[in-house]
Structure 1
Amino acid sequence: MSRNQQSIWHKNRRQQDILSAKSARLELVSERAEDLEPCTAETLLPNQEELALYRRLYENIPSVYFSLDLTGIILSVNKFGANCLGYSVEELIDKSVLNLFEHSDKQKLSDALGELAKTASFNDVSKWEFRLNCPASEIVWVKVVARLLPADDGFSHLDLGSNSTDKHHQKHPQILMVLEDITAHKQAEDALRESEQRFHSMANTAPVMLWMAGCDGLFTFFNQSWLKFTGRSMEQQQGLGWLEGVHPQEQDFCQEIYDSAFHARAKFEMEYRLKRHDNEYRWVLDTGIPRFTPNGKFVGYIGCCIDITERKSVEVALKHSQESVQAQLEEMESLNRLKDEFLSTVSHELRTPLTNMKMAIQMLGIALNQEQNFFSEMEKPQIERSKAARYYEILDNECDREINLISNFLDLQRLDNNTKPLVLETIQVQQWLWRVVELFKARNRNSCQQKLRLSIANSLPLLTCDPFSLERILIELLTNACKFSPPDAEITISAQMKSQNMQFQVINSGVEIPSCELPRIFDKFYRIPSNDPWKQGGTGLGLALVQKLTKLLGGTIEVESGSNRTCFAIQLPLSNEV
C-alpha cells in the first residue's frame, strides 16, 4: 500500500472514531484496494488493539532501537531508548545518529554503516563496540548490532511510530540498529586491565624472581628479575622452556615435584640449580602457590624463586664442620677410653709397689724399734730426732701421699664419668659425727697437734645420704685444716640446720687464704702457696674431690677466709635420691 493510497479503514475513521488522534497511519493493508474486503468497525477493532500492543512493546522494550536511512539519519527511535540516551524522541528524529557518538568513533561508525550498506546482505548482522557522547546519559560504551532491511516490497507496510514523516516510508532500504549498554562490562575490563598492569609493574620491580602458570600447567609469565637472571626472553621461558635452564641432574626432579603438586592443587617448594646468564649454576629455592577464583575455580600457579647459593655453601660447610666435630668427639671418646684403661692399668701397677713399699716401711719401723727402740725416737720433737728417724718419717709420709694421690685421682675419674654410685643410709648426725672425729684423731694423733672441738645443735633431724662420701669430705677438710693451722690452734667442726638443709662447717684459725686464691682452691692439682713444702705438701686433688662429692650428694660448698680465720661450709638436703 503506497503512502498516497488510503485504506477502507482510513475512510471510515471519521464515522467509527475508534482510535485516538495520536494513532495516525497504523496501517496493514494490501497495496491493491480492490483486493480488500469491506471492513466494519467490529472487524477492525481487534487488529487496531493488536497494533497498539505492538506499539507499546516497541516503545518500552529495554534497549535502544533505531531505524536509519543509508546515510545514518534517524528515521525512528523507541521512547525507552531515547530516554536512556537523555533525549526525547522528537529531538532525535531526522538527526544523524553519528552525533550520539564520541568524535573519535564517528568516522569508524560512518565507515561501518557505509560498508554495511554496500556489502552486507539482508540476512547479515554486524556488531561493533563504540563510545557514546550523550551528556545526559549514564551510558558510555554500547554494543552496536545493525542489520540492513530491504525496501517495501509492495505487499505490506507497518508503521508503529507516531513521529515518522512521509519521507521515511519511501521505498528504500533502511538500517535497523540496536544499542546495548556494555558500560559496566567495559569498566570491568578496564579495571582488570589496570590490575594486570599494576601487577606486572609490581612484579617487574620486585627483587625476587616471579613466575605464573595457567590452569593447563604451562608457564605464562616471568618477571624482569627472572629474565635478567637467566638472560633469556619471555618467549624462551614460556611453556616448559624454563626447564632448559635447570641443571640436567635436577630437571626430572623439578618436573616430578611440579606435576605432583599441580595434580593435587597444592603448594610446593623445591631446591634446584638454575643456570645464570653467565652460565654459572646457582642454587634457588622455588615456591609455588595455587591460585583460585572467588568461586573456587583453579586458575593456575604463582611462584617466586630466591638465590640460596650462599646459604647452601654455609650448609655444606656446616655439614663438613659437624662431621669434623663428630669425628673429633669420637676420637675424644676413644682417647677417653684409652685414658681410662691406661689409668686403671697404671693405678694397679702403682698401687701394688706402693702397697709393698708401705708394708716394707712398717716392717722397717718394727725392726728398728726392736733393735734401737725406734718408736720412742719418733715420739721426740723433730729437731731432737736422729737422722734415721727424720728420713723414716719422710719416707712414710711420702708413701702415704702417693697412695692418697692415686686413690683421689681414681675417685675423681669415677665422679667425672658418673660411675661412682651412692649408697644411701639414714644417720643420726650427733652420734655419727662424733665417731668420724674420733676416728680422725686416732689416725692422725702424731700429725694433728691442734685441738678439735665439736659443736652440734640440739634435736637435729635424721639425714639421708651416703655416709662414706660425707665422711670422705669431712676427713679431707679436717686434714687440710690441720696442715695449715699452727700447733695448739683450735679447729671447730659444727652441724646445724640452715634453710631446710643440714649444714656442716670446718673452721680453723691462725691462717687465712688470700682472696686472689679463693676462686682456684677447688681446681685439680692446685696447692696453696707455702714456704714449707714438706709440711704442707699434698696431692692437690683433695678439695677438687670434696667439691665433686658434695655435688654428687646434691649439696653445695662455700669457703670464707679473712681475719686470720677460714671456714668451709657444706649444705646438704635432708633426703637424697639415688
Structure 2
Amino acid sequence: MTEPRAPNPDIEQQLRDVNEALIISSVRLHEQIEKAEKAEAALAIKQAELAESKMLLETALDAGTVATVTWDIVNDLMIAGPRMSKVLSIDRADAGMLHFADFISAVYPDDRQRVEEQIAQTLETGTPCDIEYRIKADDKDIQWVYVRGKVERDAAGKPLRFAAALIDVTERKKSDETKCFLASIIESSRDSIITVDFDTTITSWNPAAELLYGFSAEEAVGKSMKMLLLPKDLAEIFGNIDKIRLGESVEMFETVRIHKEGQRLDLEVVMSPVKDSSNQVVGVSTIVRDITERMESEEALRFSEQRFRVAVDAMDSLVWTNNSRGQMEGEQPGWEKFTGQTFDQYQGFGWSKAVHPEDVDKTIDAWNESVRRRETFVFEHRLRRHDGEWRVCAIRAVPVKAEDGEVKEWVGAHTDITDRKQAEEELRRSREELEIRVKERTVELEQANKKLKAENRRRLRVEKDRVAILRRLTTAQEDERRRIGRDLHDQIGQQITAMRFKLLELQTGDADSSIKEKIDQAQDYAKQMDVDVGYLSYELRPQGLDDLGLRSSVRDFVQYWSRYHSIPAEFHASKTERRQLDSETNIHVYRIVQESLNNVLKHAQAKSVVIILDFQDDNLILIIEDDGVGFDPTPNEKAAKRSGGLGLVGMRERCLLLGGTMSIESGVNEGTVILCRIPIPAK
C-alpha cells in the first residue's frame, strides 16, 4: 500500500483563497441580481407611468385641447400635429407644414418679441421653453396659448430639433380676468362686502368691511357673523339666509350692527345668493353701506327745520312768502303781527296798503321787476306798524326755484332798521363834528410842530455852540496845563534841584550833628518835593503822547500812578489792531483815564484797578474797573454838575466832544465800571 501523502500547505492556502474569492463573487453576484431586479421593477413602474401619461396625452389630444409641433431647425420646417388647426384655429390647408416665420407671424404683435427672445434663450442655453402668449390667426379672435418645449442637440451640441406642446388657455385666461375684475371691484368697493355660509360663518371679507367694522380679514374670516349682530336681529338674519338658500329674494333693509370697539353702526344691507359653477346656491353675499352720516344728516335737517321755525318766531324780522307771481297768499302771521293787517287785507297786493304813500309806487315797481327777472329783491321803505308809527324796514326776498329753474315761490323778510338809521344819522353828524375838530386840531398840531422844529433848531445851535465852547475851553485848559507843567519842570524843578545841591554841600561840611540832622530832614523834604513836582508836571504835560501813541502813554501813566500811589493797577490793550489816532482823541482819552484814576484815589478806597483799551469794529472801547466802595451814579453825576467839577461830568463831556458815549455801572460796596465807546472811522 502506498503511504498517504503529507498535506501541501501552499495548495491548501490557494484552495482557501479560491474558496474565499468564490464566496465574495457569490455575494457580489447576489447584490447585482438584487439591483437588476429592483431596476426591472422600477422600469416596470416607469413603463406603467409612461403608458398612463401617454394615455392621458392621447385623451387630451383627442379632446382637442393640446397640439404638438416639432421644428426641424436645420431645414426650418415645423411639423404640426393633426390637432394644430383645431387648437389654434388656423384655417389653412398647409397647417401641417409650417416655417418658423409662419409660426412667429401668428403671434400677437405685442408678444412677438418676448416669444422670440424666449425661444432664442432655449436654443442658446438648453433651458426648457415655458411661456404664455397671444395669437391671432386669420380673422379669428385673439387666443391665449401655453407652450412648453425642449431642444434636441447633436453630438457637437448644435440644435437639431425643437419639440413643443401647445395648449389653448383662452377660457382660463378669460376666467382669470373675470375673477380679477370682480375681485378688484370687491377690493376697491367703498361698500362692505362679505360672504357667509348657511351657518353664518364668514368666508370672505373685503377692505371696506375692515374699515367699517374694525376687524381685519384675519380676525373675521372663519368666525361667525353673530359677532356683528345685536341679539334681537339674529332671528331676522337667519330668516333671510333661509330665504336665499331656498331661492327667494330679500329686500334691502336698514339695521344696526356692532363695531369691534362696541359702538353701534347704522347700516343699509343688501343680501344676495352666492352660486358655484353649477349654479347652486352655496352661500350668501352681504353688501353693507354705512348710512350713519346720512342718518345724522337727516336728523340734523329735522333739527335745522325746527330751529328755523323757532328762529323765525323769535327774530325781530318778519318773514313772509309770496307765490311765483309775487302776490302774497295764505296766512302770514309775521306780517299780520307787525302791520296789524287782517288776512283779507294783505292778500294779493293788499300788503302795499301798509307801505308809506311816498314809497308804495317805487316799492311795487322794484318788486315787479325782481319777479320778472327772477332775481333777489333788496329794497328799503317805510312800513306802518300796528300802532300807526312809520318804521324804516330793509327788505330782502329770494326766489325758491325748482330743479328746472322755475320759481315756485318767494321768501322774504322785513327787518326794522329805524333805530339803526337813527344811529347812522347821529354817527354821521358826530363824524362831521369830529372831522371839524380834527381839522382844527391838525392846524394846532402843525403850528406846535413848527414851534417844536424851531426850538429843536435853536437847541441844536446852542448845543453846537456849547460843544464849540467846550472844545475851546478844553483846548485852552490843555494849553494852560502844558504851560504850568513846563514852568513846574523848568523853573520850580530846577530851583528844587539847586536847593538839593546846596543842602548836599551843607551836609558834607563841618556842621555839628544837630544841624546835620536838620539838613538831612530838609534834604528828604526837597527830594519828596522834587518827586511831587515831577509827578505833577507829568500829569499836566504827557510828554510822549503824540510821539509814542495813546497805548504806550496810557500804559506808562498807569504804571507810574500805581507806583506813586501804591495801588495795584493792570493795563490791557489790543495787540491785534493798532490805529493812528488824531491828537484830540489821544489827549481826551488820556485825560479820561487820568480823571478816572484820580476818582479811584480820592473816593473808591480800591485795592486794585483794571484799565482796558480795545478796538471793536469802528469803535475805541475804554473800560476802567475798580473794586472799591462804589456809589449811586445818578445823584453823584447831578452833584458833579452842580459843583462844576470836571469829575464824571468832565469825563462825559470829553466823550461828547469825540462823538462818543460814557456809561457807569456801580453800586454801594460793589465797585465801579466806567465804559466809554468812541467812534473811530476806519481809514
Same fold (TM over 0.5): no
Q: Give TM-score, length-normalised by structure 2.
A: 0.28
The structure with the larger Rg is 2
Greater helix share, structure number: 2
